[in-house]
Every structure is written in C-alpha cells, then in structure tokens.
Amino acid sequence: MSAWPGKFVIGLTGNIATGKSVVRKMLEHLGAYGIDADALGHRAIAKGAPGYQPVVLNFGRWILTEDQQIDRGRLGKVVFSDPEALKILESIVHPLVRQAADILIRRAKEPVIVLEAIKLVESPLRQGCDTLWVTYASPEIQLARLMQKRAMPQELARQRIGAQRTQEEKMAAASVVIRNDGSFEETWAQVSAAWQRQFPAAADSAPTQTTVKVSVPGGALPAGVFTVEKARPRQAAEIAAFINRASGGTRKLRYEDIMAAFGEKAYMLLRLNNIPVGVIGCQVENLVARADDMYIQNNLPLEPAMKALLERLEETSRDLQCEALLLFLPPNMASQAQVWQNLGYEPRSVAGLGVRAWQEAALETQSAGEALLFKQLRKDRVLRPV
C-alpha cells in the first residue's frame, strides 16, 4: 500500500546508463508526475542546502570548487572507490531526498507518481512504492553510452558499472522490466503496454488542451481561438513538419528525430482555429523548467502566440513545483525585448542565475548564439536550508 494516500507510486530504477530517465519521460508523457530522486540528491548537497555542511565536514574542504560549491566529480572519486565513504554520503543524502520527495508527492495533482532513483531497491523510498519498474541495457550498451554521452574514459566507465549491484538482482525484484537497448519506438511500445496493463482506464488518450480566445492584431490572421496542447509521441510527424516549415528550411527534421527528442523533452503545440501555428520544446528537470525549440508561424504576431504558449507552460511548470523557467531564444526572437518584458521575462547570464541547479540546467541546454531569459515561478524552495 502506498505511503501516500490517493497516490499510486511507480518506483523506477536500473543501473547506470540503462535509460531510466528516458522511461520516466515516457511515463510523464502518459500522465504520471515524475520525480528524479538522484537530481534531488544533487540539490541536497548544493551550497545553502541542508546536506552541504555535513558533506564538507565528513569529506573535507578539498572537495570544494573556487566558488565553494561541492565538486561532485571529486566527491565521486572518493565514494565510488570506498564503500564506507559511500555509506556515509548516503546517510546524509537519503533522508533529505526522502523529505523532498514527500513534499513533491503530497503537492502533486496527478494520482500516478514515477519516482526514479538509481539505488531505489536499497533505499527507504522503496517501501513507499506500489510497484517496481527496472530498466535494462546490455553492459556493452552501458559502456558505449557512458563513453559517448558522458565522455567518460573507458576505465572510469567500467568502474562505475562494476560498482553497482548486478542488473539481474534488480530485475528479479521488479514487477516490470523495460529492455532499453533498442530504438525509442521499441522502448515506447514496452512502456505504453505496461502502463495500459496497470491503468487500463488511462490509456493514451487525446492530448489535453487549454483554450484561449484571441483576436490577432493587424489582420495577419483571422480572429479565432488558440488551443495549446501537450503533444504525444504519436504527433511526432506533425511537429517535425511544422518546425521544418516555420524555420524556412533551416531545419530538416524527420519523424525519427522528434521521436528521439521525446526521450528528453515534451512538446507543446499551439493551434489557431485548429491549424498548427506554434511549438515549444520543454524540459522539467531538477525543479527547473526549460524551453527551447520555439517556432511561431511567420505571419503570426509574436506576443499573443507566446502569451498563450507560455501561460500554459508556466501553469504546468508550477504544477510540477518548478522554481524557475528558463527560455533559450534565437536572435530574431530575443531582439523583440518589449514582448518578453511584457510577458514577465528578463535577460540573464548563466552566472547571474545565482542558484547552482539553475546554472547547470542553463549550461546543459543553451546553444551558441541563443539568448537566456528567466522568470522565477516560486519563492519557496523544496530543498531549502534548515
């Protein structure tokens, strides 16, 4: 029975580089509220967070960077080579993660929660889960992903893989095993089938829509009704076609490209009188919302279109307890400064964001030439100092 009345909690785990986050994203597309417990663990030891001082006291100031943040790379070299050091770190971080997860689950509006953690089976969080899903990938795939996507040297990658319990042990404890070493479509088919078995009444239904009545100024387009919908992977071809068209041919995306992107982000589609006129790609990770891949039909005024899209994205982000929303804009959009000011966004540098987790999210997403805009969505922070 769930530790959280009214919630059904899917515990999601798997060894390193087996695609846990991709499966969590898929479950979010299907309607679950996703929590990345490992990211919460990173937040728990950030400067100003409650785990910071205990970690520094136990492991020494040599793990700090010049700006007094904990260097997770230095810390990792210690704990992944010393089981006792790892136990000390986990004794500090795990209670804080449990506390933060409890806050998020109780606040969540969705009845289904997916809680992702690499050491879920060994963690007290496991006791609060109603079912356990485990991702699997062959050791060869794990090694390739760590070396290609995380730029790990082969020796370090092998060490990280070997430091964990075997995949077979986790699979033996699982209610659902997702084999995640094929294509996105193959993984999506497994996740969708398992979801429908667990929640037959919540099968992949029509996308949810928000309706906004608008009158487009200047006669560029007829007055009508904007609808904003969270797209599903089955709309990948429509999204690719719209981006290719709206980019004037500078993007040449295929259905497969958007399907692969669904493993990392969600898309929101803007329609006017049921015709697609805008799209935003968005990610919610570590309590930070990010939006890129923004395209608006050329003859549509920017402000009313972005107002409709961003109001929906902000509402969704607040529901997911996000603290901040970051926009990454191409120069032609960023130059319309008054539009963004009217919508409550301000330009920031990465350093000017101040919060380490926000800075890391920006560095991970921002491409060369893109402008960064910022809006704070909530003042209270889930992992605040105590």
Q: What is the mean pLDDT of residues 89-118?
A: 94
CA 189 to chain centre: 20
Separation CA 248–CA 264 (nearest Å): 25
Q: How many CB atoms lie within 10 A of CB 381?
A: 17
**Is it the case that residue 94 has pLDDT exceeding 60?**
yes
Separation CA 190–CA 173 (nearest Å): 18
- Quote the tokens at residue 353: 């964001």
> 213 and 197 in one domain?
no
pLDDT of residue 251: 94
Separation CA 266–CA 285 (nearest Å): 12
Predicted confidence (pLDDT) per residue in 139-193, tens digit: 999 999 999 988 999 998 998 898 888 999 999 999 999 999 999 999 999 999 9
> 163 and 135 in one domain?
yes
**SS3 state at 104:** helix
- Quote the tokens at residue 180: 């995640």
> 170 and 222 in one domain?
no
| pLDDT band, very low/low/confident/very high, at 299 (cuts 50, 70, 90) | confident
Residue with tokens 């087996």: 18
CA 54 to chain centre: 28
**Is it the case that residue 382 has pLDDT exceeding 80?**
no
pLDDT of residue 219: 55
**Is it the case that residue 386 has pLDDT exceeding 80?**
no
Residue type, 12: L
Q: What is the mean pLDDT of residues 35-64?
A: 94
Residue type, 63: I
pLDDT of residue 195: 96
- The answer to whether the Cα torsion of 180, 186, 187, 191 is positive or negative is negative
Q: Report the CATH number at residue 237.
A: 3.40.630.30
Pick the last residue of a domain from 179, 202, 225.
Answer: 202
Overall number of domains in the chain: 2
Q: What is the mean pLDDT of residues 298-306?
A: 90
Asked, for residue 382, whether it belongs to a domain, the answer is: no
pLDDT of residue 339: 97
**SS3 state at 122:** coil
CA 74 to chain centre: 25
pLDDT of residue 385: 43
- Quote the tokens at residue 52: 């910071």
- Quote the tokens at residue 289: 């919302």
Pick the last residue of a domain from 152, 176, 202.
Answer: 202
Strand partners, 228: 210, 270
Q: How many CB atoms lie within 10 A of CB 297?
A: 18
Pick the last residue of a domain from 153, 170, 202.
Answer: 202
**Is it the case that residue 206 has pLDDT exceeding 70?**
no
pLDDT of residue 191: 97
**pLDDT over 70, % of the chain:** 93
**What is the chain's mean pLDDT, rounded?**
91
pLDDT of residue 104: 93
pTM above 0.75, yes or no: yes
Contact 144, 129 (CB under 8 A): no
Q: Report the CATH number at residue 30.
A: 3.40.50.300
Separation CA 340–CA 93 (nearest Å): 39
Residue with tokens 């996507």: 149
Pairwise pLDDT comparison (278 vs 3), residue with the higher score:
278
Predicted confidence (pLDDT) per residue in 210-252, tens digit: 666 555 555 555 667 889 999 999 999 999 999 999 999 999 9
The residue range of the domain holding 312 is 209-376
